[in-house]
Structure 1
Amino acid sequence: MIEIPRQKPKFRFAPSPNGPLHLGHALSAILNCEMAEKAGGDFLLRIEDIDQTRCTPDFEKDIYTDLSWLGLRWQEPVRRQSEHFPAYQEALQILIERGLVYPAFLTRGEVKARVAALEANGAPWPLDPDGTPLYPPDDRERSDDERRRLLASGVKHAWRLDMEKALAAIVEPLHWQESGDGERGAISADPATWGDVVLSRSDAPSSYHLSVVVDDAAQGITHVVRGLDLFHATSIHRLLQTLLGLPEPLYHHHRLLLGSDGKKLSKSMGDTGIAEWRRQGWSPAELRRRIGL
């Protein structure tokens, strides 16, 4: 009997260099590293720097410093998203050729105005799991001739997934295997709740949803360990993986660390970074105890 070699487990921590890492990042990074060691696998680091306006080399350098201080080691080379834009465009082109995406021309202001107009009449606008209004149907319902005319004019546009067509292209129900701190087992995916998600913008060659599935496949990631705030986004990722013929990792969504306001820690809210705790004299062991490890 021929023995088929088992794929070596691969875990990854994928921060964005757009601000200091905080305690929530430390929890995720440590969990990924320790789970990789326990599984006899590899711990990889990915720098998600698609947003070239907010991501900086200094923040990226700080990520390496913080993770090294925590005692974490990762495989080289580090994957940097800014070096793989063609891979995301290739994936997007596959979806374009299959007719599963469409160019979206509405500005944020136009979307906001449509939402406000509807709600002014007492009708609630549908929201995605993150509480963001779903994209209006205007662009999805444009004729091919009108789309070609707008594209030829050079007007700025994004590319959005046509959720209805994408789901129609799926043969079997979507699910994923979950082992995290919330629901466990086989989880039914429900990507329709996200509406027509954006996959690429005029100022960014790829969205988080598209780049993350392409990156995970390119790096051979077998286990995705990340915060519970991304639990529902897994529905979109499973849909894109299936449409693009990409492998399905196992998922583990861990608990979130909350600030004094009861909300999850956030760079945008200026929550205290790992470097600041280090400057205050904390040791890596003290930090681990602080985050419950």
Structure 2
Amino acid sequence: MREPLYTPGAGRVPPELVGRDAVLERWTGTLSTARGAAHLPKDVVHTGPPGAGRTVLLGRALELAAGEGYRVLRVDGRPGAWLRDALAPELATLGLRLDLLDADETAALAERVARLPGFLAEVLTDLAGVDGEGRGLVVGIDDLHLVDPEEAGRLGVAVELMETPPDAPVLLVATGGPDTWERLRGDGLRPVNDHPEKWFDLRPLPALSEEEASRALQRPAERVGVRWEPEAVELVVATADGHPGRLQSAAAAVWALGSGTDPVTAAHARQALRSVELPAP
């Protein structure tokens, strides 16, 4: 049995990130052009089913933002009083670290952020440009679809109200499930946000191509001196059907049947794929 190489499970970074180059290149362009732009682009929400690599993509997007000199803040989506209990504490922590807030001010921050979109806009703007450094701020939100529509709506209003200086923009980048748009609008009996597209640009994550999935299997193995037989690659790629989570789960099961630097064979693939539990596509 070999040492684990592939990474099944939510939020785990794969040994070879594939199929997201175009998404990340577009994001890098946004980071570059936002500074100095007269009008900021819409904030981006990348959507996909569980296992599509949303959390990994968000982490990489925030790494790129930090590399471009932005301050970054990451928060997970969840039901309930999200602005008060999730976003506000992260804002307070960053504000304390930058000496923008003192301990007394942070005590009242949560309630004001939750109730007053204009105040939230001010806090975000201040964090983006504190010390006059003109760095800007990127807020990353994972699982936006879990946030109650009313809470997401207040965040959207705050985005509309922000008047950031050109050299210190505030950008939001989020991930969400396939139902994110419906969640943002609210239920049919009680619609909350009729036009969330005013605030967010929804971008479904594409499935992996066969070439991308093959590369995700073979390149990590090649780095440790192991070769995948072509038929084994075909079997795993077909089973994954373009889904990153299924690909990692299937690859890990097949990989575990081998030993040392022996090739990964079609026999390994058939045996493992008969019993492995895969995420839903």
Q: TM-score, normalised by structure 2?
A: 0.26
Q: Indicate the structure whose relative CO is greater, using CA pairs within 8 Å and at least 6 residues apart.
A: 2
Q: TM-score, normalised by structure 1?
A: 0.26
